[in-house]
Amino acid sequence: MAKQANIGGRLDKISNLPDKVLCHIISFLPMKEAVRTCILSTRWRYLFASMTRLHLDDDQFRPRHHQTPPPSVNSFMNFVDRLFFFSSKASLECFGLNFSKRSGIDSSRIYGWICAALWRGVKELDLLFLRFEDHQLMLPSILFTNCKSLVTLKLAMNYSFMNVPSGACFPNLKNLCVTNIKFTDDDTVQRLISSCLVLEDLVIDECRFEKISVLNICTPSVKRLELKMPTQEAIVLAFQNLAELKIIENLEHDDDFDWRGMWLVELLKWSPNLQKLDFTLEGYAQSGVWHRFEKVPSCLLFQLKEIVLYSYDGRWAFELIKYFLKNARVLKNLKIDTNKQNAKQQLRWYYWGCPTSWTSYGLVTSQFGDIIVPFDGDTETFQEYLKSYFGFEHDFLGVVAAIEATLDPILSLHAILGTSDHQTMRIVSTIKHQEVIILIDSGSSHNFIDKETAKKIGWKTHQITGVGVKVANGHELWAKDICYEVPWEAQGLIQCTTFMLLPLSGCDMVLGVKWLVTLGPILWDFSKLTMQFHIAQIQHCLKGL
């Protein structure tokens, strides 16, 4: 610890910090500025040499306005040489090289810098060569054969050829991102991927595969895969533990492979543990008669919880929606986004599902509060609308959809009049010695409590800016008070919920869709008036009146 110093009559508290803390602070500076801290005082003279994160960017040496003479490429290379010469022998957390502004870098110097970082046990290596002119750039063999410390490797090589030796091995590499690299044969790709024994995150971005008609990407440990590649005739994917998949601008239109959407079904079939699917596709024909495929991929039945589809493309997208809603049994969020000019195609649709063992549900809304096609709330329910629009053959047992928080709250007539139908269930509870009739109502968007009931229970209320609540009969009520996260209990279920205050006559409390979607999959039995669900692996069963 250095002695406290006085600067201009003020105590220099920063210089009094431990070396490790100071090194962490200057690591956020551009490397050139971090080195310049050595002139501040003798206390700072060699701190930069102990930094464990080195990011070297040639942009820091590009000519500035009216700078004469402009800095040369040699000045950058000499700077890096001196940096490694003065640096300590401590292990490196991260080493990054970025050549995006200048060309003419000596490849032998690059070779030496990478070796120096590897000998210091670097954990993250980020190499970006966007302006490198030598398309035969050779990476050090030690990178592939003797690099036990590396956990993250990012390579962007301006379409240089990748040469992977036969003995390549990355025993601890978990994250691999390759960008703008040329692969000459399938064996090279396989050697690279198979050498990563514990790989979890794989990104292949705009790489070229010469003389490769079928690209095989198979590794059991990968959990997240992102593909953004030029046209490839065929891709074979096999991942036993894949949890997230993102495909961008990939796959040439192939009538044989794309017929009826076969390519996506095949892809899902080989990803049994997929939990999130995120992909962008454009220009596909109106194909996808999904019901002709008898066997549903297991990931849809048991694992897939979130799907994001970009670039909506007409009827094909609707066929895809129907397939997912019918077969994705544990799906929680299906988002379809588009940037096309047509007004309907600009809508963002959110489908939230809580499927039972036989059905899937969805409430179709957009971020603008619109429905895909005109919806007449006086003549049909949302379930009836979905059934007529999407052509589902089975009955809907209840709404299991979440309305976006930005949409206007909705209160059903059942909550006002106290009537019941197949969308509601009434239960009784005692809260602070006060008997409360609770209406579980899938026709109401939010949670509500009667003003007088909240007062009798003694819940603390907070004033809010008036929120308009639409009633199904066309009227509008204004909620000006709210109870935040108040505790309540019913039939052994203990919850904390936020309620809006309104004058209710048909019941004391309404639990709407905002509460229903927090329960996960729900099994309704309207003949017995029961609903079953699990919270923290504990089964709950509520019995209606």
Asked if residue 183 has pLDDT above 60, the reply is yes
| CA gap 222, 246 in Å, rounded | 13
Q: What is the largest CA-CA distance in the chain?
A: 87
| CA gap 392, 266 in Å, rounded | 24
Q: Residue 459: inside a domain, yes or no?
A: yes
> For residue 101, what pLDDT is reported?
55
Q: Residue 375: inside a domain, yes or no?
A: no
> For residue 418, what pLDDT is reported?
63
pLDDT digits (tens, 9 = 90+) for 83-132: 777 666 677 888 888 876 555 667 788 888 888 888 888 999 999 887 65
Mean pLDDT over the full length of the chain: 70
Mean pLDDT of 182-194: 84
Band of residue 177 on the pLDDT scale cut at 50, 70, 90:
very high
| Residues in Cβ contact with 334 at an 8 Å cutoff, skipping those fewer than 6 apart | 306, 307, 309, 321, 324, 325, 328, 349, 350, 351, 353, 362
Q: Residue 142: inside a domain, yes or no?
A: no
Name which of 395, 307, 381 is nearest 351 in CA terms.
307
DSSP bridge partners of 262: none
Q: Residue 55: inside a domain, yes or no?
A: no
Mean pLDDT of 269-286: 68
Mean pLDDT of 377-381: 46
Please report, in angstroms and rounded to a whole number, the separation of the first and last CA atoms in the chain: 72
Task: Give the count of domains, the chain.
Answer: 1
Q: Residue 41: inside a domain, yes or no?
A: no
- For 185, other C-beta atoms within 10 Å of its C-beta total 12
| CA gap 73, 141 in Å, rounded | 26
Band of residue 453 on the pLDDT scale cut at 50, 70, 90:
very high
Asked if residue 517 has pLDDT above 60, the reply is yes
Highest mean pLDDT among 235-249, 276-290, 295-309, 464-478: 295-309
Name which of 488, 494, 501 is nearest 453 in CA terms.
501
Global pTM reads: 0.51
| CA gap 78, 233 in Å, rounded | 45
Structural element, H or E, at residue 110: helix 107-119
Tokens of 511: 């639990």
Q: Residue 440: inside a domain, yes or no?
A: yes
Residues counted in the chain: 545
Q: Provide the strand spans (E) within 338-461.
A: 349-351, 365-366, 410-411, 424-431, 434-441, 448-450
> For residue 174, what pLDDT is reported?
95
> For residue 382, what pLDDT is reported?
43
Determine the structural domain holding residue 439 and report its residue range.
410-543
- The enclosing domain of 422 has a CATH number of 2.40.70.10
> For residue 400, what pLDDT is reported?
28
Asked which of 243-257, 317-331, 426-440, 510-524 is least confident by mean pLDDT, the reply is: 243-257
Q: Residue 431: inside a domain, yes or no?
A: yes
Q: Residue 523: inside a domain, yes or no?
A: yes
Higher pLDDT, 4 or 459: 459
